[in-house]
Structure 1
Amino acid sequence: MSIIGLHHAQITIPKGAEAQGRHFYCEVLGLPEIAKPESLQGRGGFWLQVGDRQVHVGTEDGVDRKASKAHLAYQVTDITEWQEKLQAQGIKMLTSVPIPGYRRFEARDPFGNRIEFIQAE
């Protein structure tokens, strides 16, 4: 008996903010939306494909997302280009602690979720 991998991670956005969430995650970040099972479609939110993993974007009110260090780290191929793209969208860059062997930066999505972009050197 063992854990063999990670199937998905979930983040949350405010209830009713799916259109804004899809704009950011699908249009700005370019992540493809995948269909949720019919049994879960009435619960709000949406699912994304990120490489061979999924990110489930659920809905939840009453959460101070800016108070959390929880985050997803997106592995990218051109970190400078990503930083420039997000800054052009008005997204503020956050200070990151250096990690040897990687270039990285952090930001917050429109809902306050912390996001990290990371590239091996």
Structure 2
Amino acid sequence: MSTIRGIHHVQITIPRGSEELARTFYCELLGLQEVEKPVSLQGRGGFWLQSGSQQIHVGTEDGVERLATKAHIAYAVDDIETWKQRLAEQGFAILDGIPIPGYTRFETRDPFGNRMEFIQAL
């Protein structure tokens, strides 16, 4: 039987032309590393990030209501209070997540409305 071995990447979207603001948020504030997209995809806008062994592909598209979806990325962190403080200091709303046994978590939205969860094992 063939099995799924893991997650290679996830994709989020930002409005066309917002790459520099997204790089400031994802690379500078969150500290994610940008990796080069294949030449065959470079003309499509957006960029790729590395987080551990997974990638986050930041694509561009207009006409999407990102605030209307539950879709999200959950970032596993080792110091959730630091992340709460860092994001709150930058003006991002911090919302407590519904409790999950064995974890503490919160959620927020990136500058484009994409939902993000930060989660830490207790």
TM range, normalised to the smaller chain? Answer: over 0.9
Q: TM-score, length-normalised on structure 2?
A: 0.98
Q: Which amino acid aligns with 1:101?
A: G
Tell me if 1:120 matches 2:121. Answer: yes
Residue equivalent to 1:18 = 19
Runs of 4+ in 1 over 4 A off after TM superposition: none
Q: Deviations over 1:68-97 (max 9, x none)?
A: 000000000100000000000000112311
Stretches of structure 1 lacking an aligned partner (at least 5 in a row)? none
After the TM superposition, which residues 1-121 of structure 1 pair with which residues of structure 2 at under 5 Å, given as runs? 1-121=2-122
* Contiguous gaps of at least 5 residues in structure 2: none
Structure 1 residue identity aligned to 2:63: G
TM-score (norm 1): 0.98
Q: May I ask how many residue pairs the two structures share in their alignment?
A: 121
Identity %: 64
Q: In the TM superposition, what whole-angstrom CA distance separates every residue of 1:29-72 from its partner, at most 9, and x where no partner exists?
A: 00000000000000000000001100000001000000000000
CA RMSD of aligned residues (A): 0.6
